[in-house]
């Protein structure tokens, strides 16, 4: 695999992981059927929210609003390391 293909594969994996963690936050705070409520809270159409949870890149303004509304820890969202929510003690 070339450098470009390797980078693309890594990027796609990162997007999948972030999408999975975004969904985890939504499930924890809003429940199984809470997607429309969270989409409304961050001011995006629900169909866009579904795409974000499915691996589409979330635009910066939507991501910042998601972090603000949910209190999700940006480091955890990106890496899966540390506490899930900002201000939360590390659970390790």
* Helix (H), strand (E), coil (C) string for 23-75: HHHHHHHHCCCCHHHHHHHCCCCHHHHHHHHCCCCCCHHHHHHHHHHHCECHH
In this predicted structure, what is the pLDDT of residue 7? 80
pTM: 0.86
Q: Which helix (H) or strand (E) holds 54?
A: none
| Unique residue bearing structure tokens 């169909």 | 47
For the chain, what's the residue count? 92
The residue extents of the domains of the chain are 3-79
pLDDT band at 90 (very low <50, low <70, confident <90, very high): low
Give per-residue pLDDT as tens, 12-68.
Answer: 999 999 999 999 999 999 999 999 999 999 999 999 999 999 999 999 999 999 999
Quickly name the fold that domain 3-79 has.
434 Repressor (Amino-terminal Domain) (1.10.260)
């Amino acid at each position: 695999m070339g450098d470009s293909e390797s980078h693309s594969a890594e990027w796609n994996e990162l997007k999948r992981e972030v999408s999975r963690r975004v969904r985890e936050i939504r499930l924890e705070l809003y429940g199984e059927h809470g997607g429309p409520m969270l989409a409304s809270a961050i001011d995006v159409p629900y169909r866009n929210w579904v795409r974000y949870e499915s691996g589409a890149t979330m635009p910066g303004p939507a991501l910042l609003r998601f972090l603000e509304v949910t209190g999700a820890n940006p480091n955890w969202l990106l890496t899966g390391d540390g506490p899930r929510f900002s201000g939360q003690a590390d659970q390790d």
